[in-house]
């Protein structure tokens, strides 16, 4: 049974779209962190985020004993795959392409919905209607056109770029599955508490990883500009975006949420235009129109997806 807080509303998808917009700023904010190990970046942004959410954890501490083993499994899945693996894979992929050719990394946006929808059907017993699948096809085509100017990926065959693509696929599964398990956890856990637990657990999981990879010592080499970037990430694309995302996900079906998340590549190309003066191709404009159309139609009516859980 779903709690009253999980009642599906039109506000939920809008909050997820807002979170997706914030995520589109991530590549720009991380450019000054190029020299730092990806695991260290992820660790620090989660530690800083956890510190900010401590008041929520303290206030909602009694609720921890109400969390079932099944819900703890969902929380651990989200913390490890969504918080650690997904973010590390994504950050490492950005580093491999020099934080410049982002198109190969945004490949994950093409695969993430497929992973999320498949798992939502299996785990959450969601039942998308025929109309929903039509919008998914439109969204995937739009997302592809948005990412690749000339219809084909501009992939070089060097090992770094190919490895970045594999990491992007890994991030797609990690984040796609985290959408489903996050939605499952939110049936019984307050979104503020889930956010705090996720950031705390992710920080703890990464501590031994830092020492195994011998990257903990790099903290002393972080300059003031990089600390500023980390703090900016926490209060925009990191903690704040996740907080807004969970606030929206608690009242949004996972199959709907994963399509709303595709607002990220649309926002990213327009930011690229305004910040880097990168001209949009006709195919990208067409893709943006298709993607926005699909997101609009799906977000307006969550009844096109039914569910037992």
Q: Are 292 and 266 in contact (CB under 8 A)?
A: yes
Higher pLDDT, 8 or 111: 111
**In degrees, to the nearest 5, what angle opens at C-alpha 236 toward C-alphas 292 and 102?**
60
Give 73's contacts (C-beta < 8 A, 6+ positions apart): none
pLDDT given at position 5: 42
Q: Is the pLDDT of residue 2 over 50?
A: no
Give 125's contacts (C-beta < 8 A, 6+ positions apart): 307, 308, 309
Strands (E), 129-281: none
Q: Are 79 and 198 in contact (CB under 8 A)?
A: yes
> What is each CA distance from 259 to 14, 119, 153, 240, in whole angstroms?
12, 14, 21, 20
> What SS3 class is residue 219?
helix
Q: For residue range 4-33, what is the model confidence (pLDDT) as tens digits?
A: 344 677 899 999 999 999 998 887 888 888
- Burial grade of 124 (CB within 10 A; 0-12, 13-18, 19 or more): buried
Q: Is the pLDDT of residue 1 over 60?
A: no
Q: Are 177 and 81 in contact (CB under 8 A)?
A: yes
Q: Is the pLDDT of residue 286 over 80?
A: yes
DSSP structure class, residue 82 = I
pLDDT given at position 105: 64
With tokens 């695969």, the residue in question is: 111
Q: Are 66 and 194 in contact (CB under 8 A)?
A: no
pLDDT given at position 233: 94
Q: For residue range 227-274, what is the model confidence (pLDDT) as tens digits?
A: 999 999 999 999 999 999 999 999 999 999 999 998 988 888 888 888
The pLDDT of 112-118, averaged and rounded, is: 91
Interatomic CA distance for residues 173 and 175, integer angstroms: 6
The pLDDT of 32-48, averaged and rounded, is: 89
Q: Is the pLDDT of residue 110 over 80?
A: no
The pLDDT of 74-103, averaged and rounded, is: 79
DSSP structure class, residue 79 = I
The pLDDT of 113-133, averaged and rounded, is: 92
Higher pLDDT, 1 or 300: 300
pLDDT given at position 94: 73
Structure tokens at 79: 């913390």
Query: How much of the chain, in percent, has pLDDT values that exceed 70?
Result: 88
Task: Give the count of beta carbons closer than 10 Å to the beta carbon of residue 114.
Answer: 15
Angle between helices 282-300 and 130-147 (to 10 degrees): 150
Residue 105's Cβ-side half-sphere holds a number of Cα atoms within 13 Å equal to 23
The pLDDT of 197-207, averaged and rounded, is: 95
Helices (H), 60-158: 69-77, 86-96, 108-123, 130-147
Give 133's contacts (C-beta < 8 A, 6+ positions apart): none
Higher pLDDT, 140 or 93: 140
Interatomic CA distance for residues 16 and 221, integer angstroms: 35
Task: Give the count of beta carbons closer than 10 Å to the beta carbon of residue 161.
Answer: 18
Query: How much of the chain, in percent, has pLDDT values that exceed 90?
Result: 51
The pLDDT of 44-57, averaged and rounded, is: 96
Interatomic CA distance for residues 41 and 33, integer angstroms: 8
Structure tokens at 256: 């709907």
pLDDT given at position 309: 47
The pLDDT-based confidence of 117 (bands split at 50, 70, 90) is very high
The pLDDT of 138-157, averaged and rounded, is: 73
């Amino acid at each position: 049974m779903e709690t009253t807080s999980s009642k599906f509303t039109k506000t939920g998808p809008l909050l997820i779209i807002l979170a997706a917009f914030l995520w589109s700023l991530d590549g720009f904010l991380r450019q000054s962190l190029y020299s730092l190990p990806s695991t260290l970046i992820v660790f620090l942004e989660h530690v800083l985020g956890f510190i900010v959410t401590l008041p929520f954890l303290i206030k909602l501490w009694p609720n921890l004993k109400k969390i079932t083993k099944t819900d703890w499994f969902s929380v651990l899945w989200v913390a490890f795959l969504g918080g650690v693996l997904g973010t590390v894979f994504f950050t490492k992929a950005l580093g491999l392409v020099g934080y410049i050719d982002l198109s190969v990394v945004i490949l994950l946006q093409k695969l993430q919905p497929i992973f999320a929808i498949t798992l939502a059907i299996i785990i959450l017993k969601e039942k998308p209607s025929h109309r929903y699948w039509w919008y998914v096809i439109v969204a995937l085509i739009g997302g592809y056109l948005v990412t690749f100017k000339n219809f084909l990926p501009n992939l070089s065959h060097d090992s770094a770029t190919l490895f970045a693509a594999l990491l992007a696929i890994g991030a797609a599964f990690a984040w796609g599955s985290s959408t489903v398990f996050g939605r499952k956890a939110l049936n019984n856990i307050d979104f503020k508490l889930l956010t705090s637990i996720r950031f705390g657990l992710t920080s703890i999981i990464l501590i031994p990883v830092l020492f195994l990879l011998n990257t903990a010592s790099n903290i002393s080499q972080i300059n003031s500009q990089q600390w500023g970037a980390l703090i900016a990430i926490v209060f925009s694309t990191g903690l704040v975006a996740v907080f807004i995302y969970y606030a929206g996900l608690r009242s949004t079906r996972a199959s709907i949420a994963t399509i709303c998340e595709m607002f990220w590549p649309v926002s990213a190309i327009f930011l690229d235009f305004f910040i880097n003066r990168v001209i949009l191709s006709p195919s990208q404009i067409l893709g943006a129109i298709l993607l926005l159309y699909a997101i609009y139609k799906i977000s307006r009516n969550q009844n096109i997806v039914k569910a037992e859980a």
